[in-house]
Amino acid sequence: YWLTPGAGPLDGLRITVSAGGTREPIDAVRYIGNRSSGRQGWALAQVAALAGASVRCVTTVDPPFRADLVEVLRVESAEQMLDAMRSAQEDSDVLIMSAAVADFRVAEPFAGKVKRAGKERLELSLVPNPDILVELVQHRKQPQVIVGFAAEVERLEESVANKLANKGVDLIVGNNVAEPGSEFGSVTNAVYLLDRLGRQRRIEMAPKTEIAASILAAIVALIEV
Ligand code: CTP
Ligand code: CA
């Protein structure tokens, strides 16, 4: 056994990370989703657990590898993810919103399965989902480190700075999802980190587990402040 219990760099830290894209029901069998694979969230969960943290993953997707060390909480919709993250907030030192949360959901999902016959048009009315990150910040238990992501297709650094300020989080991990190698579903990523103290760092394209280690290092730097 090559891991010495109690000797990891994140030993004793309780981390909750969300992963994957939310699924917003249309009817009993259909949903509105997005292209997030959950890989970056799961990589964070895995690396943190191997480094000794107690890790929970609130996820819409199965782990892409064996993640026996991680406690798994399966959810589908943004509202379910909000509930799971809020209860995890009670006993977490670090909260990481790596999930791609749908900004809108169907106002009134249909009961049963919608049938095709007799319809010229089918309209869906969407309403805004709660901003989970903002809710977590509003209920922050000091000292709790709260980390957000920013998926952008242009002006990455500017958007990251805006989201850091607007959401009141401690760290934003920005990635350009229009860039080959860091688009939704990739096994690699390239990120730009900005923390509340103004410290910034660019991490070049690397496997998501390596990116995860760099993100966790930035989180540790915030805890040690
Ligand atoms: N997020 C959240 N709840 C939502 C939407 C987003 O918690 N309803 C979180 C994401 O998990 C991510 C961060 O907020 O950590 C930023 O998500 P992003 O989609 O980049 O930003 P938005 O604030 O949703 O703004 P927009 O999509 O318009 O850029
Ligand atoms: Ca969004």
For the segment 74-116, what is each residue's pLDDT rounded down to a tens digit?
Answer: 999 999 999 999 999 999 999 999 999 999 999 999 999 999 9
Please confirm, yes or no, whether 175 is among the known catalytic residues: no
Give 2's pLDDT tier (boundaries 50, 70, 90). low
Distance 100 CA to ligand 2 centre (A): 7
Distance 159 CA to ligand 2 centre (A): 12
Does ipTM come in above 0.85?
Answer: yes
The protein residue with its alpha carbon nearest to ligand 1, atom 8, reads 131
For the residues 63-75, what does the mean pLDDT come to? Answer: 91
Tens-place pLDDT, residues 192-201: 999 999 999 9
Q: Which residues contact 96 (CB under 8 A, 6 or more apart)?
A: 15, 16, 17, 18, 41, 44, 147, 215, 219
Q: Which residue among the candidates 34, 162, 166, 176 is catalytic per the annotation? A: 34
